Structure 1
Amino acid sequence: MDGDEEIVRLTAWVRGHVQGVGFRWWVRARALELGLAGSATNLADGRVEVVAEGPRRKCRRLLDLLDGDAPAGLPGRPGKVTGVTGRWSEPRGEGSGFHER
């Protein structure tokens, strides 16, 4: 299997002004467009934790969107991201769909 098509799990922690601004909804929309399964969850410290499973190239694309600007044609990312930390691991079987928690 090509490395870009390998199924992986991405866990990303997004810092900045990302709660109460529609950020999780925006992440869910991008993840569903990419065909990824997972969730976006507000954390008590103000960060948002994003968990996504799917092909590595699509998870990498989501990580790029979290950390950069949305390309032309996509709604702008709400809030203000000051940093993103990502971790790659083996998939755990997130199932289907992408959920806001």
Structure 2
Amino acid sequence: MSTDATDRVRAHMFISGHVQGVYYRATTRDKARERGVDGWVRNLDDGRVEAVFEGPREAVDAMVKWCHEGSPQARVDDVAVDYTDPEGEDGFRVRR
């Protein structure tokens, strides 16, 4: 199965609950890198986590699903996701 640019999708997410101070960002980064997904994750001032995933649909969908559980210490109450056109993210990083 080929994975060219047309196979890429982008998911822009907002995760709420007890998701800060529980290694949510670091674990998200590790899981995304394991799956070959590009993008970023960051904490928001309102207590939510924002994340962007770009890559093959199957890998991005796996990350979206993972975000509903998160790191072992997290308690996820809500996940909002919006699929849009990829913007060319390269690598995965934790943003500040």
Residue 10 of structure 1 is matched in structure 2 by 11
Residue 77 of structure 2 is matched in structure 1 by 82
Residue 92 of structure 2 is matched in structure 1 by 98
Q: Which string of whole-angstrom CA distances, capped at 9 and with x for unpartnered residues, describes residues 20-59 of structure 1? A: 1111001001100110111001111110001010011110
| TM-score, with length taken from structure 1 | 0.83
Residue 24 of structure 2 is matched in structure 1 by 23
- Total equivalences in the alignment: 92
Residue 55 of structure 1 is matched in structure 2 by 56
Q: Which stretches of structure 1, 4 residues or longer, exceed 3 Å deviation after superposition? A: none
Give 3-state SS (helix, strand or coil) of 2:20's partner: coil
Q: CA RMSD in A?
A: 1.9
- Structure 2 gap ranges (5+): none
- Structure 1 gap ranges (5+): 70-75
| TM-score, with length taken from structure 2 | 0.87
Cα displacement (A) at 1:10: 0.6
Distance 1:65 1:19 in 2: 16
